[in-house]
Amino acid sequence: MRPYKVLLFIAAVMACMAVLCIVLPGRVVIAEYELRWPTLAEVMGSTDSPEPIENLYTPDTLGVLDTLEIPETLESPKPQPVVIPKVQVDSTVDSRIFLQRFYNSLSETGSRTVRVLHYGDSQIEEDRMSQQIREALQAKYGGSGVGLMPLAQTIPTRTVKQQLYMSGHLVQPAQGPQRYLVYGPKRDQREDGLYGVMGQVAMMNDSLVEGSEQIMAICTPQDRTRPYTQWQIFADPTIDYTLSGDTVRLSGRGAVYGLSQECDTGVIVDNIPMRGCLGLVFTKMDSTQLSTFYRDRNVRLIIMQFGGNAIPSNRNPGTISAIVKGLRDQVRYVQTCAPQADILFIGPSDMLTQTDGEWQTYPMVPYMDRLLHKMALEENIAYFSLYQWMGGAGSMMRWQEVGLAGADGVHFTRSGARKAGNAVANWIVDGLD
């Protein structure tokens, strides 16, 4: 193409863009999508410099646009800032005072097991964070094994390699027995609430999946420094099983709620990830099943790590407040099912979003963090603020720079998860001094 044609093309594009800037506002919403571009005045540099974001918003009053109020029209109204209510939290309280029953129970580890259950969202997948808590407690109080795992482990972990065979053939987890998940889509949920303590169950029944009446699972620990000493199989009495080394063979029809590689003394820490879950699911799980497991397995600490999944899709403080209220109900339900156990709630980490091409902390993160902290103190449970420990607003960017956080600005890398897990583990163990 000749140079003058290239010049004409560039000029035509710039003219079209100028017309767009003049005719349309700098922001429109179409359905659920928001489009932004600079106005002509901004391009020409004739607008006043905006006030720095740190001067506009403080941790207690962050302005955000409530997109739920935007009509589905091409041109949206001017955004109205939402003032986030102040949340008063007594930061002088060391919430580890609410772990005293758990700390006292550790004196029993020489003669029996003390169990810790770690529920959470995708931040703890692959046994992340739970692994560091397990290592710290087992190093100090004994114990071995990685604890609970599902029959069909759809998300691989760093601590156990699992292989599933049906009718003698190696299959992928998704090809295994039909699963029901309390935190899954409605089609994968049960009406009777019988999910077991992990919130998921695999059905061995050839009417659901051909060949699922005969299953072999090989579960090979990736860390042999503390080998497990025994298996536990949690299933209906109609399920028969035999054990040989790392292999378990199951047959029959019925529900399998989980497998466990563990010990007979010391500490067991179970990793129970629930991808995409807000944490509002415990009240959907059968209380008798939960109570029986918590009591019979001497569960003395239950860690609940939720909240992050509410952040990206909610910009209304009223919605966040309602979610925290729902989490309070879950805490109370778990307390009813496990009256002998203490509870530790871990809040969301810092999380980033892009606004006008700039990365910044989601406005609702500090608000939810303070609401959760306040809720925890009122319910007499321990609270660990990942957000504050990381360094508060914008800290995820610093973590990205050193390889501790992923490109999505939400999840830790494996190194970052290890660092966060060690921080929680040290915080728990230091409370014993």
Give residue limits of the domains in the chain. 3-69, 90-143+265-433, 144-262
Q: DSSP secondary structure string, 257-272?
A: EEEEEE-SSEEEEEEE
Q: What is the pLDDT of residues 157-200, one digit of tens each?
A: 999 999 999 988 999 988 889 999 999 899 999 999 999 999 99
pLDDT reported for residue 250: 96
DSSP H stretches of helix in 186-263: none
Both tokens assigned to 328: 């309070």
CA–CA distance, 119 with 74 (Å, rounded to integer): 43
pLDDT reported for residue 64: 34
pLDDT reported for residue 409: 92
pLDDT reported for residue 274: 96
Among left, alpha and beta (phi > 0; psi -120 to 50; other), residue 298 is: left
- Residue 140: other Cβ atoms inside 10 A: 14
Give pTM, 2 decimals: 0.81
CA–CA distance, 130 with 128 (Å, rounded to integer): 5
DSSP state of 278: -
Q: Collect the ranges in the chain with pLDDT lower than 50.
A: 29-33, 43, 45-76
Q: At what angle do helices 287-296 and 317-337 cross, to 10 degrees?
A: 60
Closest CA to 75 of 29, 33, 40: 29
265 φ/ψ angles, rounded to the nearest 5 degrees? -140, 160
For residue 225, the Cα-to-chain-centroid distance in whole angstroms is 28
Q: What is the dihedral of CA 188, 189, 194, 199, to 10 degrees?
A: 70
Question: Helix, strand or coil for residue 305?
Answer: strand
| CB-based contact 349:399 (threshold 8 Å) | no
DSSP state of 360: E
- Tokens 């209380």, residue located: 287
CA–CA distance, 40 with 211 (Å, rounded to integer): 66
Q: What is the pLDDT of residues 313-323, one digit of tens each?
A: 888 999 999 99
- Residue 9: other Cβ atoms inside 10 A: 11
Question: Helix, strand or coil for residue 204?
Answer: strand
Q: Which fold has domain 90-143+265-433?
A: Rossmann fold (3.40.50)
pLDDT reported for residue 21: 60
pLDDT reported for residue 62: 33
